[in-house]
Amino acid sequence: MLDFAVLGLLMERARHGYELKRALGELGFWKVSFGSLYPALRRLEKRGAISAVSGTGRRKAYQITDEGLKIFDTLLKADPDASETERAFQIRLAFLGHLPRERRVQVLEGRRTKLSTNLKSAREILIDARSNTENQDRYRLALMEHAMATTESDIAWLDGLVAAERGVASQN
């Protein structure tokens, strides 16, 4: 998924490693390490998805190639499987604008469904935990409750995004 993210960022313009790391961090959910990023760049270069265009000083800027564009497109269009991670979803979301509206809504609703399912089982687990004398630890319960509240808020946020897509019929 890091490869997907890197390609997505390079779609806009050429960037060097450090800049990619910063950009990913600024999206707010992934402080990727150098130990992940630089190997990823070499991986992508070896696959012919990106190519180095030397920058000032020590910098090595990379630009996406035609092959890279093809790979990005494939990853973008692949429909997210059920086991997709929180992080994978967020990366997908960061580049969702590249998909047509109809597909965007599909992705958002797929995620919504998954979170709803998670929430339902979390509720059951919580009820169980509360009625279980052994699991009465205050902080454990607080963690579970907070995780649920966060999921609920995520769902509401997704609903907002879907509503925005449906409301703005003139776009795309």
Partner DNA sequence: GACGTATATATCGAATCGATATAGACTGGT
Partner DNA sequence: ACCAGTCTATATCGATTCGATATATACGTC
Contact set with DNA (CB under 7 A):
1-3, 16-19, 30-36, 38-41, 43, 55-61, 81, 83, 85
Instruction: Establish if 163 lies at the interface with a second copy (CB under 8 A).
Output: no
User: Which residue number, 19 or 154, has a Cβ lying nearer to DNA?
Assistant: 19
Q: Using the rule CB under 8 A, which residue among 130, 153, 163, 166 binds a second copy?
A: 153
* Residue count, binding to a second copy (CB under 8 A): 32
Q: How far apart (Å, rounded) are the C-alpha atoms in residues 5 and 63?
A: 14
Instruction: Establish if 162 lies at the interface with a second copy (CB under 8 A).
Output: no
Work out the widest C-alpha separation in the chain, in whole angstroms: 64
Q: Judge residue 136's burial from the number of C-beta atoms within 10 Å of its C-beta, 0-12 exposed, 13-18 middle, 19 or more buried.
A: exposed
> What tokens were used for 59?
């910098």
Which range of residues in 49-57, 70-78, 109-117, 147-155 is near a second copy by CB under 8 A?
147-155
Least distance from a second copy to the Cβ atom of residue 53, Å: 19
The partner residues of 116 in beta bridges, in order of sequence, read none
Question: By CB under 8 A, what part of segment 18-37 binds a second copy?
Answer: 26-29
Q: Using the rule CB under 8 A, which residue among 78, 127, 149, 163 binds a second copy?
A: 149
Site of tokens 């800049």: 19
Site of tokens 């994978």: 88
Are 88 and 80 spatial neighbours (Cβ–Cβ below 8 Å)?
yes
Instruction: Establish if 88 lies at the interface with a second copy (CB under 8 A).
Output: no
Amino acid at 131: S
Residue 31 has a CB neighbour count (10 Å cut-off) of 10
User: Of DNA, a second copy, none, which one does residue 26 interact with (CB within 5 to 8 Å by kind)?
Assistant: a second copy
Amino acid at 157: W
